[in-house]
Structure 1
Amino acid sequence: MARFKVGVQLRPQHCEMKQLRAAWQAADSLGVDTIWTWDHFYPLYGDPAGAHFECWTVLAAMAADTSHARFGALVTCNTYRNPDLLADMARTVDQISGGRLILGIGAGWFERDYTEYGYEFGTGPERLRALRESLPRIEARLAKLNPSGENIPLMIGGSGEKVTLRIVAERAQLWNAFGPVDNFARKNAILTDWCQKVGRDPAEIDRTVMINPDEVDNFQAYLDAGATHLIVGSDVPFDLTAVERLVAHARG
């Protein structure tokens, strides 16, 4: 069995900061390859008025608290921040971590974040167009910064077949999608087709997929579908038992 990468997403909702910090330190000690949070301003489920923390300040703390795993947002919403500013934030957090940040980004979708914080929600095609326009600015700013951030790998999250997956094929080093297995397999095949159309080696893109804790023993089905990197979602109280089991599968 080929070795695969293991990640965990620690969702910053309905918890205390000390719980988040303890969880990512524990995950780092387990030997996971990646640790992730998400970029929202309110809980996605449960009590809509529950506790929640902002993504990039959380990532700065994660950068300082961990030593081994790569980490990032799964994924940053492109239109919440000026792209040049986002590049500088990413470069700074990467420096704090000693070069372990992955810049995960997507077009955005959670309407409440937009309306509550005064951003224009617009339409799906408009948000995708904004993502396409932002990426060259982010890459240019990362290269201009001193010290540079141009070696930070880019993850794009999303599965839109006509636009998003083409952008992934053109620019990303990692791509994130979701199950179930059949859905992931179909989207993965479409991404490979786009790579061939734009002249990109499909093997250059790390294929990540979000799975639930009860799916970890079905890991082989995702590998057979083309995944190279499995990320387990975790909510408070951040029980990492399933993550530890997946690490054992990956190293076995």
Structure 2
Amino acid sequence: MTEFSDTVNDTGIRATGLWPATRRSTSLGLMVPVSEWHAFGGSPHFADILDISRTAAATGIEALWYADHFSFGEADETRGFWDAWTLMAAIAASVPDVQIGPLVACTAYRNPGVIAKMTEMIQDISGGRFILGLGAGWHKPEYDQFGIKFEPRVSQFEEALKIIHGLVRDGEADVQGKHYGANQAVNLPRSASGHATPILIGSSGDRMLGLLARYADAWNTCWYGSTEGLPEKIAKLDAACEKAGRDPATVVRTIGVNVANDGYTGSRGDPFRGDTGETVAFLRDLEALGFRHIVIGLDSCTPRSVAAFAPVVEAFYSGT
């Protein structure tokens, strides 16, 4: 696992930059469909999700990502998602070698101590292959359906992040907040892997980027079908790091991109479209912008379409 320093600097910022060792300086991941509306073209069940995950790993994809939602839509238009955490535990036990993580886990849906405990368990199951993606959430109907308070999202996230970071990275947390608390809490037992868990935050909001600069290893921005607007997003991240007193180079930059294939379902808007060479060129453009991990939102996303994406993966990694 590649890492930068994990020490607190003189501004009180934990200058982290943990990330798994990869075959190339920029690696590829896959967003695996887990919902009724997604690019699978129907409602995937565990056998389908496992098949897609195994197929992706066989192509050379290095990370598998899973959405953390309850549902999309309202009333009679609601479409549901499978629970990400129990799913990731099963995938961790069934698919070796690849990294696994939520993109991203909403901290409002579960107590932060529970998130830390689940993280440690999956880290142990996977042998140190888990990446913890976190976010503040955004889809208010989900909150309303399950009686979860929507605002103040970022303030709630900040308290949850402090607790999760302490428990996951240091094994303990003592945080007294307005929304959450941890009273000399300890995260035991610890994963036998001995690997520290990378923490990724998905957001481009000003306050969230400030928290990312203080606590996170990696940043995610998504979903794109071109490079348009990305330099501005990157500059915003860099400015947040500099304001916090952190070297921007210690933040691992990740991105989610939508890619259409012949079976395009329309569930992923404004996707990139191109043949193998054009798709590889697009991925190389993202690499040139400084992204170290690219999550492919493939549409359609079935075992067959993932297998058909293998030439892109091979060409990207081979440098051809």
Fold shared, TM-score > 0.5 on shorter chain = yes
Match status 1:102 vs 2:128: no
Deviation at 1:97, TM superposition (A): 0.6
Q: Deviations over 1:71-125 (max 9, x none)?
A: 1000000100000111001111111111111010000011221111111122xxx
1:23 matched to 2:52: yes
Q: SS in structure 1 opposite 2:221?
A: strand
One-letter identity of the residue aligned with 2:229 = N
What is the aligned-residue identity percentage? 29
CA shift for structure 1 position 184: 2.2
Alpha-carbon distance in 2 for matches of 1:108, 1:247: 34
Tell me the distance in 2 between the aligned counterparts of 1:102 and 1:86: 12
Query: Any stretches of 5+ residues in structure 2 without a counterpart?
Result: 1-23, 36-42, 172-185, 261-271, 273-278
CA-CA distance at 1:43 after TM superposition: 4.5
Where does residue 85 of structure 1 map in the other structure? Answer: 114
State the one-letter code of the partner of 1:16: H
| 3-state DSSP of counterpart to 1:226 | coil
Q: 1:48 to 1:225 in 2, by over 3 A?
A: farther
With normalisation by structure 1, the TM-score equals 0.89
Work out whether residues 72 and 142 of structure 2, in 8 Å CA contact, stay in contact via their aligned partners in 1.
no
Measured in 1, the distance between the counterparts of 2:235 and 2:317 equals 23
**Superposition TM-score, scaled by structure 2 size:** 0.71
Whole-angstrom CA distance in 2 between matches of 1:78 and 1:204: 24
The equivalent of 1:148 in structure 2 is 190
> CA offsets, 1:158-217, max 9 Å, x none?
111x21111111111111102341322211111112222222222222211111124333
Of residues 34, 38, 49, the one that matches 1:12 is 34
Deviation string, structure 1 residues 35-63 (Cα, Å, up to 9, x no partner): 10100012479x94445311111111111
Match of 2:96, SS? coil
Report the secondary structure of 1:182's partner residue: coil
What is the count of residue pairs matched by the alignment? 246
- Select the residue among 238, 242, 251 that pairs with 2:309: 242
Cα 1:32–1:237 change in 2 (3 A) is closer
Q: More helix by proportion, 1 or 2?
A: 1
Q: CA RMSD in A?
A: 2.2
The residue aligned with 2:159 is 133
Larger Rg: 2
2:237 counterpart of 1:191: yes
Q: Assess, with a 3 A threshold, how the Cα gap between structure 1 residues 237 and 31 changes in structure 2: closer, same or farther.
A: closer
Question: Residue 194 of structure 1 aligns to which amino acid in structure 2?
Answer: A
Could you tell me which amino acid in structure 2 is paired with residue 170 of structure 1?
A: R
Structure 1 gap ranges (5+): none
Q: Do 1:6 and 1:247's aligned partners in 2 also have CA atoms closer than 8 Å?
A: no
SS in 2 for 1:181: coil
Deviation at 1:225, TM superposition (A): 2.6
